[in-house]
């Protein structure tokens, strides 16, 4: 009885092929069922910006521009605060910069490039950095701000650390970090007395003249590929390269045996 025995090289090659096919299948499962896939497509969420004076009175007619954080900062939304001192936007979870422009009560605001101590300024566009995390319960993203008078008479927007329009504002005045990424330098000559609205004051335009796009026409900001999926994609590419090399090597060996 003749018995044929597979060569060690062929057995090893078959084992390597099976391992890489298993790896390929595992990577495909990871890419299709990982965290990014589980989250699904991004949906726009409610963003509420509240602007008050230091006494807690809402300020109407404050021009606000919302930018996608850059650089460069890209215009995204704009509006004016209403009677309750709020402006409402629809925005996707991402990083943004909010700038205040125009004036109020006959007084002008400092230029956006000088706001927030210039910490977010790029190409003369600056403001306050906001980070929106995806909300699972439909809650609104609420950020509060307060206006104070600067030493030169201009109005200076500040972060309001109360984060609640029902509470008395807490202007952020300390030099130093507000968070791990943003440092703010504030004019220590600020007048923190409540603002008094003049009768001839009129709402002013937002700091950008570009029309704000409709929410339905605005694409979701790119959030980038998660590190886990980037590594998985690189590993997948390496596995495919090895498989192709093994296939070419097998064809070359088969051709040599035939010759």
- At 30 the pLDDT is 56
Helices 8-33 and 227-258: crossing angle, nearest 10°? 150
Read off the pLDDT of each residue in 65-78 and give the average, rounded to a whole number: 88
Are 158 and 144 in contact by the 8 Å Cβ rule? The answer is: no
DSSP state of 226: -
Question: Is residue 176 one of the residues assigned to a domain?
Answer: yes
* pLDDT digit string, tens, across residues 129-179: 999 998 878 789 999 999 999 878 899 999 999 989 899 999 987 655 455
- Of the candidates 46, 78, 45, which has an alpha carbon nearest to the alpha carbon of residue 62? 78
Stronger pLDDT, 23 or 234, i.e. the higher one? 234
Buried b (16+ CB within 10 A) or exposed e, 206-232: bbbeeebeeeeebeebeeeeeeebeeb
Q: Which residue has the higher pLDDT, 58 or 26?
A: 58
Q: Same domain, yes or no, for 87 and 198?
A: yes
237 and 208 assigned to the same domain: no
State the pLDDT at residue 214. 45
How far apart CA 148 and CA 174 sit, in angstroms, is 14
Residue 47 has pLDDT above 60, yes or no: yes
Considering the domain boundaries, does residue 11 fall inside one?
no
CB 59 within 8 A of CB 93: no
38 domain residue, yes or no: no
For the cut 70, the answer to whether the pLDDT of residue 117 exceeds it is: yes
Statement: residue 33 has pLDDT above 60: no
Under the banding of pLDDT at 50, 70 and 90, the label for residue 15 is: low
pLDDT of residue 200: 42
Q: Tell me the β-bridge partners of 149.
A: 155, 191
User: Does residue 40 lie in a domain region?
Assistant: no
Report the DSSP pairing between strands 103-104 and 74-80: unpaired
Most confident of 40-49, 120-129, 162-171, 215-224: 162-171
Pull the structure tokens for residue 222. Answer: 């790119």
Domain residues for 234?
227-259
Residue 120 CA to residue 171 CA, distance in Å, equals 19
pLDDT digit string, tens, across residues 238-251:
777 777 777 677 66
Same domain, 202 and 235: no
Q: In total, how many domains does the chain have?
A: 2
Do 81 and 156 lie in one domain? The reply is yes
In this structure, the answer to whether residues 141 and 258 fall within a common structural domain is: no
231, 93 contact by CB (below 8 A): no
Q: Give the single-character DSSP code of 193.
A: S
Domain identity same for 113 and 136: yes
Whether this prediction's pTM lies above 0.85 is answered by no
The pLDDT value given to residue 210 = 44
Q: Is residue 158 part of a domain?
A: yes
pLDDT value at position 2?
52
Segment 97-125 shows an average pLDDT of: 87
């Amino acid at each position: 009885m003749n018995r044929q025995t597979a060569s060690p090289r062929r057995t090893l090659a078959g084992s390597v092929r099976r391992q890489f096919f298993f790896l390929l299948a595992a990577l495909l499962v990871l890419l299709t069922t990982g965290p990014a896939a589980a989250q699904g497509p991004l949906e726009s969420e409610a963003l509420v910006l509240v602007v008050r004076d230091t006494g807690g009175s809402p300020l109407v007619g404050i021009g606000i521009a919302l930018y996608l954080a850059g650089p460069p900062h890209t215009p995204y939304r704009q509006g004016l605060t209403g009677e309750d001192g709020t402006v409402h936007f629809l925005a996707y979870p991402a990083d943004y910069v909010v700038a205040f422009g125009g004036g109020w009560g006959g007084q002008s605001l400092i230029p956006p490039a000088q706001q927030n101590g210039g910490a977010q300024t790029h190409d003369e566009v600056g403001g306050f950095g906001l980070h929106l995390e995806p909300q699972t319960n439909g809650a609104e993203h609420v950020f509060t701000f307060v206006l104070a008078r600067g030493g030169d008479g201009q109005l200076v927007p500040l972060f309001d650390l109360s984060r609640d329009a029902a509470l008395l504002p807490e202007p952020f005045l300390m030099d130093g970090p507000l968070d791990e990424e943003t440092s703010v330098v504030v004019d220590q000559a600020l007048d923190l007395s409540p603002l008094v609205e003049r009768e001839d004051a009129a709402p002013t335009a937002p700091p950008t003249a570009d029309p704000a796009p409709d929410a339905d026409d605005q694409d979701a900001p790119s959030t980038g590929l998660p590190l886990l999926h980037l590594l998985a994609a690189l590993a997948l590419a390496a596995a495919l390269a090895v498989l192709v090399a093994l296939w070419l090597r097998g064809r070359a060996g088969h051709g040599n045996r035939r010759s």
